[in-house]
Amino acid sequence: MPSSPVDDRILNDGSRLPPIGLGTFSMTGPSGVDDVVDGIEQGYRLLDTAHAYGNEAEVGEAMRRSPVPRSELTVTSKLRGRDHGYDDAIRSVRDSVERLGVDRIDPHLVHWPNPRVGRFVEAWRALVQLRDDGLVRSIGVSNFTEDHLRRVIDATGVIPAVNQIEIHPAFPQEEMVRVDAELGIATQAWSPLGNDRPMLDHPVLVSLAERHGRTTAQVVLRWHLQRGLVPIPRSRSHARRAENLGVFDFVLTDEDMRAIARLARSDGRLFGGDPDTHEDM
């Protein structure tokens, strides 16, 4: 099977996004710093954190401790729901920059729309201003539906560079991936492995992994890449992190891709996090 490297994604603002990221949720304290440093040394160049994760300081410390220059690292953080007011959002992002210990954050995202509160457009206006001020390189959203996207675009004329949403074989989000692509928005996938088990034990994935001489996790991550997505797997295991990077030298066939797509379920969400109703404060 021929090799198939995946280039960085070019965002709609001209900046670049590495093709796979390291999720850092739950990587806190000294062990969290060690995990992130190890991930960077293994080859991860996109680090994904959030105010709500409570580990921006650890991610920043890992970046400083790593031998890899800051210019080669992309760090994403996210605005929590309680900070959606314009002034609150400005303050919150500035605090995130300080906790990370960086001059600017690369993509900064609105973490959830919290539509019942109804202030996500204010939050977006704040991110636009922070981008114009140079404190944030790229701006985007997370868990936004088509309606949420069109509301922020209509209000500001600014299209998000990124939409980070839940995607895995049980919940492939084909319609939202299509919407993002039509709008010129890069789609990132959180929980791309579907919380690992039992998804990774599915007989279809096991069969594909055996045929390609890969692990089921590698097959799923390759599926994301071939869909044009940026998966952000998380693991506290050195071996698993290395495994998750071993996805650039094989190719799934069209039938492989269709077989994985057939694993979609109507109840595929991991925890019922419907962006139209979920509130994240």
Does residue 257 belong to any structural domain of this protein?
no
Copy the structure tokens of residue 213.
Answer: 């001489």
Does residue 119 belong to any structural domain of this protein?
yes
Does residue 207 belong to any structural domain of this protein?
no
Reference 185, options 218, 223, 149; nearest CA is 149
Does residue 167 belong to any structural domain of this protein?
yes
Count the helices and strands in the chain (H runs, E runs): 10, 10
Does residue 212 belong to any structural domain of this protein?
no
* Rounded Cα–Cα distance for residues 91 and 16 (Å): 26
* Rounded Cα–Cα distance for residues 53 and 199 (Å): 24
Q: Known catalytic residue: 53?
A: yes
Does residue 279 belong to any structural domain of this protein?
no
Integer Rg of the chain from CA? 18
Domain count, the chain: 1
Expressed as residue numbers, the domain containing 50 is 9-192+229-234
- Give 254-275 pLDDT, tens digit per residue: 999 999 999 999 999 998 899 9
Does residue 46 belong to any structural domain of this protein?
yes
214-243: average pLDDT: 97
* CATH code of the domain containing 113: 3.20.20.100
Copy the structure tokens of residue 13.
Answer: 């603002």
Does residue 72 belong to any structural domain of this protein?
yes
pLDDT of residue 271: 87
- Give 146-198 pLDDT, tens digit per residue: 999 999 999 999 999 999 999 999 999 999 999 999 999 999 999 999 976 68
- Give 114-148 pLDDT, tens digit per residue: 999 999 999 999 999 999 999 999 999 999 999 99
* Rounded Cα–Cα distance for residues 63 and 74 (Å): 10
Contact (CB, 8 A) for 140 and 107: yes
pTM (predicted TM-score): 0.96
Q: What is each CA distance from 272 to 166, 178, 268, 278, in whole angstroms?
A: 11, 22, 9, 8
**281 pLDDT higher than 90:** no
Instruction: Please tell me which residue in 9, 20, 53, 256 is annotated as part of the active site.
Output: 53
Copy the structure tokens of residue 159.
Answer: 């299209």
